[in-house]
Amino acid sequence: MVEDVVDAILNARYLVALTGAGVSAESGIPTFRGKDGLWNKYRPEELANPEAFARDPEKVWRWYAWRMEKVFSAEPNRAHYAFAELEGMGVLKTLITQNVDDLHERAGSKNVLHLHGSLRSVRCTKCGYTFEVNEPPKIPPLPTCERCSSLLRPGVVWFGETLPPDILERAFHEVEVADTIIVAGTSAVVQPAASLPLIVKRRGGVIVEINPTETPLSEVADFTIRGKAGEVMGQIAEEVKKALF
Ligand code: BV8
Ligand code: ZN
């Protein structure tokens, strides 16, 4: 099966990828919906939405400070490096990610579209002042804006919030021109991210899914490899490198 996927990748005119929390799982970052997932202890309604933040900003900030700590001290894994290698070989054109960690960039990926924002980014709820951080804020106290003293929030997209329009537009453009998409480590339930691979498919393109478990995308995917992204993407990058160099 991996050979067929390598052939599809080598024959692709324009290859893109969509990744989810599963590609960071082997870096020790818990996924959202897996058995030990982040959402198990809490529900998305409780934390990753504006109402929850308005109701209890300290609880939401504590959760994000904890996730920032985990992400900033994690290392990219083989999956992140494999995507970066495919980009370096000129094979992968664009990497679209739902992840809010920066492990793709730290592994060397350059052309990354963050659909749901980033834990590196913090934004003022009032004046919109946005800046990058290298470590989580200490909570309490609640972090406030150095410009207008209003409450700061994590620079991520919460449920019910629209995705950054420029990023979303670029992502839709990518799937309009792509003829092959690798979908790795996502449960393919969150919209509009989950609809991106279907646009490639509807235009006659090829979907490669890499996931240890079944997802709603599995039945429409042309190839589904039931495995971990680190191992599978590592193998794919190796085989592509052998074929090209
Ligand atoms: C919007 C950022 C519109 C914050 C996140 C009903 C139907 C359709 C849609 C909706 C609906 N009701 C509501 C909606 C819209 C909603 C939505 O999609 N809800 C779903 C749940 C039904 N979407 C939104 O609200 C979006 N905004 O639609 O706005 C709008 C229009 C007008 C006006 C206003 C608004 C915003 C969505 C973004 C939400 N933010 N996160 C944060 O991270 O804290 S979503 C969150 O889920 C993360 O970003 C995450 O990336 C994303 C998707 O999860 P996955 O990445 O797939 O992770 P998951 O744990 O689910 O799966 C991991 C997978 O990896 C598993 O399949 C597992 O098997 C696999 N795996 C595990 N280990 C490995 C592995 N794979 C490979 N290797 C391994 N080793
Ligand atoms: Zn401000």
- Asked whether residue 168 carries a pLDDT value surpassing 90, the answer given is yes
From the list 200, 185, 15, the residue with the least C-alpha distance to 95 is: 15
Question: Could you tell me if the CB of 156 is within 6 A of ligand 1?
Answer: yes
Which bin fits 108, alpha (ψ -120 to 50), beta or left (φ > 0)?
Answer: left
Q: Of 152 and 39, which is predicted with more confidence? A: 152
Of 59-63, 199-203, 214-218, 219-223, give the lowest mean pLDDT range: 59-63
In angstroms, what is the C-alpha Rg of the chain? 18
Rounded to a whole number, what is the distance in angstroms from the first to the last CA of the chain?
A: 22
Question: Could you tell me if the CB of 157 is within 6 A of ligand 1?
Answer: yes
Nearest CA to ligand 1 atom 8: 191
Reported as a pLDDT band with limits 50, 70 and 90, residue 37 is: confident
pLDDT (0 to 100) of residue 35: 75
Q: Is the peptide bond before 192 cis (omega within 30 degrees of 0)?
A: yes
**Which atom of ligand 1 is the closest one to the Cα of 21?**
56
DSSP 3-state assignment of 161?
coil
**Which atom of ligand 1 is the closest one to the Cα of 98?**
51
- List pLDDT tens digits, range 74-111: 999 999 999 999 999 999 999 999 999 999 999 999 99
pLDDT (0 to 100) of residue 59: 92
Nearest CA to ligand 1 atom 40: 158
pTM of the model: 0.96
Average pLDDT, stretch 119-131?
98
